[in-house]
Structure formats: C-alpha cells, structure tokens
Amino acid sequence: MRITAANLKDSFKALAIDTFGSARDLLPIVLVIGVFQIFVLRQSVSGLISLAVGVLLVAAGLGFFIFGLRLALFPIGEDLAHSLARKGSVVWLIVFAFLLGFGTTIAEPALTAVATEAAEVAAGAGAISASEEARKSYVAGLRLTVALAVGVALVVGVLRILADWSLPKIITSGYIVVVLLTGVAPVDIVGIAYDSGGVTTSTVTVPLVTALGVGLASSLKGRNPMTDGFGLIALASLMPIMFVLAFGIVVQWM
C-alpha cells in the first residue's frame, strides 16, 4: 500500500484516539488507588510526579499496543486463516494453530514470572530440590507444559470449528477432567495450575487467537463468525489447567 500524507494523518488520528481511550480507561484505576491512599490508608501520595509520568507512559503504551493490534496482528491472523482455509490444507492449518499457541505462550513474560515463583515455592516446600539446576528444570518444564497445552487447545479449537463440534460440551467435559485431576494432583500444584490458565490469556495471545478463530469461521461456508469464531480463548484457558495438574502428578511420581 502506498503511503500518503492522508494515510499518515489517518494513522496518527487513530493512534491519538486509541491513546485517549487508554487514558480514559486508566482513570478509574488511578482514582480508586488515590482515594484508598488518601482517605482509607490516610497516607499522602509519594512521588506524585513520577506516578503521573508512569500513568502517561502506560496510557501511551496501551495506545500504541491497541493501534498495533488493529494495524497488524488482527489482519495477519485473519488473512492466514483465510488463506489456509482456501488452500484446503487441514494439516497446515493445524500446524499453524499449534505453533501459534505454543510460540506466543512460551515467550509470555507473565508465564515466566509465575513459573519462576512456583519453582521458588516448590523448592522451599521440599517438593523439588533446592538446587539452582532443579529450579531451572522446573521452570522450563512448567513453561513447556503450558505452551504445549495452549498449542493443543488451539488445535482442538480449530477442529471444533471445522467439524462443528459443540463448544459447551467440550468446555463442560474439560472442567470435569479438571475436577478429577484436582482430586489426585499434589496440593501445591493446584493453585499454580489454576493461575496458569489466566497467564496464558495474554495481550499477545488473545488477539492472535481471536483473529484465527474469526478468520477461519468467516472463510468456511455455513459458519458464523460470531457463534463459531469465538471460544478459542476459553480452551486456551482450560487446557493449561489440565496439563499443569498432570505435570504436578508426574513430578510427584519422579
């Protein structure tokens, strides 16, 4: 696409709108923190200038992020889903879905932070060795487990769209399995497993996964993007819980 002055003007306008919207959405959070800090805790807000600068930077960052989603990530996900569906290659579509889920999750900073903290707690509780090597192995194993779970979840989601499987039945069956695994999994892994379902729905994974589902449903005859294109995020949240519970059971046996 040829870049013109009009295109640049429209882009800057859209970026400004996204940034303003992000600042507006952050305002209630800032107000709640300020009210509790001053009227409930009765403490003055220290570092007011740095706090204001930080809020502005967060608003700007969110504005750029949302603008980037609409500019690149959503179109890329939808275009790839359309192209693979038109190509008629189910194998490549499944491979793409798995690699998309695995790649976006393994690099998720929140997952790394949770896995590192889990390793520290597990070492302190005696569930694993306190050595640095054991902790690194635990972190790597937990990250790989969650990333594999999200990859598998997207494969199941793609097959659901292609085969028109019932999403409520899949989700209900999945949570039944989660309840059964929770009963036999080590107590110290249960909380980590349930939290892992949240950290996988990150700011990068969610837009790409949503774009994949909507794009695939839009390109298939007889599928409705509204009813068939969504639901992948639910699977991406459910599957890591199952996999991490199983991971904890395996580590307990080792």
Token pair of 19 as six digits: 């940034």
Whether 82 is in a domain gets the answer no
134 and 59: one domain?
no
| Average pLDDT, 10 consecutive residues per value, the chain (254 residues) | 60 79 81 79 68 82 79 74 75 88 82 81 70 81 91 92 90 95 89 83 74 81 79 90 90 74
- Predicted local confidence at residue 171, as pLDDT: 93
- Predicted local confidence at residue 45, as pLDDT: 63
- Predicted local confidence at residue 46, as pLDDT: 65
Whether 177 is in a domain gets the answer yes
Token pair of 209 as six digits: 């996964």
Token pair of 95 as six digits: 């491979």
Total number of domains in the chain: 2
Whether 118 is in a domain gets the answer yes
The answer to whether 139 touches 115, Cβ cutoff 8 Å, is yes
22 and 52: one domain?
yes
- Predicted local confidence at residue 153, as pLDDT: 93
Token pair of 40 as six digits: 């409930």
- Predicted local confidence at residue 155, as pLDDT: 94
d(CA 232, CA 210): 7
Last residue of a domain, one of 72, 98, 125: 72
For tokens 């028109």, what's the residue?
164
Whether 83 is in a domain gets the answer no
3-state helix, strand, coil in the chain (%, to 5): 85, 0, 15
Whether 189 is in a domain gets the answer yes
- Predicted local confidence at residue 107, as pLDDT: 77
Whether 11 is in a domain gets the answer yes
Whether 15 is in a domain gets the answer yes
Token pair of 27 as six digits: 């305002």
pLDDT tens-place string over residues 52-71: 788 888 888 878 877 877 77
d(CA 74, CA 23): 22
- Predicted local confidence at residue 62, as pLDDT: 79
49 and 164: one domain?
no
Whole domain around residue 180: which residue ranges?
89-253
- Predicted local confidence at residue 93, as pLDDT: 85
98 and 54: one domain?
no
134 and 189: one domain?
yes
Instruction: Give whole-number Cα distances, 237 to 77, 104, 182, 191, 194, in Å.
Output: 19, 14, 16, 14, 9
Whether 37 is in a domain gets the answer yes
22 and 94: one domain?
no
163 and 198: one domain?
yes
Token pair of 82 as six digits: 């359309």
96 and 9: one domain?
no
Estimate to the nearest angstrom the gap between the alpha carbon of 86 and the chain centroid. 27
66 and 128: one domain?
no
- Predicted local confidence at residue 172, as pLDDT: 95
Last residue of a domain, one of 27, 45, 72: 72
Q: How many CA atoms lie within 13 A of 125 on its CB side?
A: 12
Instruction: Give whole-number Cα distances, 57 to 16, 45, 98, 221, in Å.
Output: 14, 18, 34, 44
- Predicted local confidence at residue 173, as pLDDT: 95
Q: What is the pTM of this model?
A: 0.76
Torsion over CA: 161, 162, 164, 165 (sign): negative
5 and 129: one domain?
no
